[in-house]
Amino acid sequence: MATKRHSTIALSLSFAFLITLVALTSPVFAQGTGQQSQASTQATLPGPSDDLLAKLEDIYKDIHANPELSMQERRTAGIAANWLREQGYDVTEGVGGTGVVGLLRNGEGSTVLVRADMDALPMGENTGLPYASTKTGTDPSSGRKTGIAHSCGHDMHVTWLMGATQILAANKDKWRGTVIAVFQPGEETGEGARAMVEDGLTKRFPKPTVALAQHVLPFPADKALIRSGLMLSQSDSLRVTLFGRGGHGSSPQSTIDPVVMAAATVMRLQTVVSREIAMTDDAVVSVGSVQAGSSANIIPNEAVLQLNIRTFNDRVREQVLSSIKRIVSGEATTSGSPKPPEITTLPGEFPLTVNDDDATRKVAEALRQRLGAERVGPIGPASASEDFSVIPRAWGDVPSVYWIVGGVDPQKYAEAERSGSLNKLPSNHSPEFAPVINPTLRTGIEAMLAASGAWLIARGAK
């Protein structure tokens, strides 16, 4: 999950200012007329005990030190499945490959789906933590050896859901309804949610009343951020192969150099957003990989670029994709390429993440009630992308809510804010990124319990 533009802007604003602003302008934070009576029917669940937090901290460190790439999360899935069984859930493994679904029925009431993603990234870790990953593996997309690291926080997501499911199972006398706990593979590649759906998720398990998910980002670790409507962008990834004519490095005149062609293409692609997209629209075009050649004195036959595109609507998306195709083809023609470039869409589904308005108001109020109003604030639409919404959309009309939990030590965040250096805090997908365990672990569990409890009915309530 990457964060650019809107989320970067939000990071530069004080949290107190954001809360004040949203209280004045956002319907998510408006006080409703029926919330007192509504709250009286909602389940109130205890928070995590110190013993549970200590146990979960050990589990988190273990998962962090043993990350697994997308669609390969067998060890992590096993930890989650065993945990759910110990808590009394009906567990199904291997959904969509390595996905795990735990079902806990507890009388009549709403069905709440809560999801956590499990996969790590093909990159090395540089946090210096005693439990840092030293794992390596083969990146399926490139076939190359790579480090593996939980540099997006999915290990924290898994641990949050494990904590919430334990508390729900241990307090069945306080609520009624059904909980579906989904441990999803392959979010980073956009494969996992679709794989679970194609493996019969919507047919094998009850239709949820609501679907909930949360993500750790570099905000204060005692805070939660939420918004209604558009939350995250849609994403496309492309592989571009540029063809040249190889030869000896001492005789470039006899070659068509795909490295120079690639360099010119990368630079020209930077103009798509800066010169072709209106300032009232939003898009991100990133070249994340450039691969060419094997030796200093050999001009290769081809160069390969991998691109990522983030947009907030289909009109801008089509404009960006069309511009990329024009630029890539134009640079190849200008360079005298012996054949047109190949542009391949990489697998993965990242649709827009759009929070249901009514459900978001309900979650936001539950978060304020549980965490305190001063710890819950707004966030702008982010150019990060997710495949979470594939799951509720597969049922057709299930409302969903996705929110953010901070992962930076609050004192460290405040110091960075005072010094104007918030942009220097490690962000998701940085080799230095890792959430501080405390209070991130507790806050995330509390947030999940609050959101789930907003739909689960209190025992004795009508």
Burial 422-461 (b: 16+ CB within 10 A, else e): beebbbbbbbebbbbbebbbbbbbbbbbbbbbbbbbbeee
Burial 183-193 (b: 16+ CB within 10 A, else e): bbbbbbbbbbb
- For residue 143, name the pLDDT band (cuts at 50, 70, 90): confident
Q: What is the pLDDT of residues 393-418, one digit of tens each?
A: 999 989 999 999 999 999 999 999 99
Q: Which of 39-48, 278-287, 339-348, 405-414 has the lowest mean pLDDT?
A: 39-48
Over residues 256-275, mean pLDDT = 98
State the pLDDT at residue 33.
36
- For residue 24, name the pLDDT band (cuts at 50, 70, 90): very low
Q: Which of 4-13, 41-50, 328-337 has the lowest mean pLDDT?
A: 4-13
State the pLDDT at residue 142.
78
The span from the CA of 102 to the CA of 97, in Å, is 15
- For residue 6, name the pLDDT band (cuts at 50, 70, 90): very low
Over residues 21-29, mean pLDDT = 48
State the pLDDT at residue 462.
63
State the pLDDT at residue 58.
98
Q: Which of 1-5, 137-141, 398-402, 443-447 has the lowest mean pLDDT?
A: 1-5
Q: What is the pLDDT of residues 424-435, one digit of tens each?
A: 999 999 999 999
State the pLDDT at residue 217.
97
Q: How much is the mean pLDDT over the chain?
A: 92
State the pLDDT at residue 17.
35
Domains of the chain: 6-233+352-458 (3.40.630.10), 234-345 (3.30.70.360)
Over residues 191-200, mean pLDDT = 98
> pLDDT > 90: what percent of the chain?
88
Q: What is the pLDDT of residues 380-397, one digit of tens each?
A: 999 999 999 999 999 998
Q: What is the pLDDT of residues 277-334, one digit of tens each?
A: 999 999 999 999 999 999 999 999 999 999 999 999 999 999 999 999 999 999 999 9
Contacts with 304 (C-beta within 8 Å, 6 or more apart), sequence order: 239, 240, 241, 242, 289, 290, 291, 292
Over residues 130-143, mean pLDDT = 92
State the pLDDT at residue 458.
87
State the pLDDT at residue 42.
86
- For residue 19, name the pLDDT band (cuts at 50, 70, 90): very low
Contacts with 279 (C-beta within 8 Å, 6 or more apart), sequence order: none
State the pLDDT at residue 1.
65
Over residues 213-231, mean pLDDT = 98
Predicted confidence (pLDDT) at residue 18 exceeds the cutoff of 70: no
- For residue 144, name the pLDDT band (cuts at 50, 70, 90): confident
Predicted confidence (pLDDT) at residue 25 exceeds the cutoff of 50: no
**Whose CA is closest to 358, among 346, 366, 347, 368?**
366
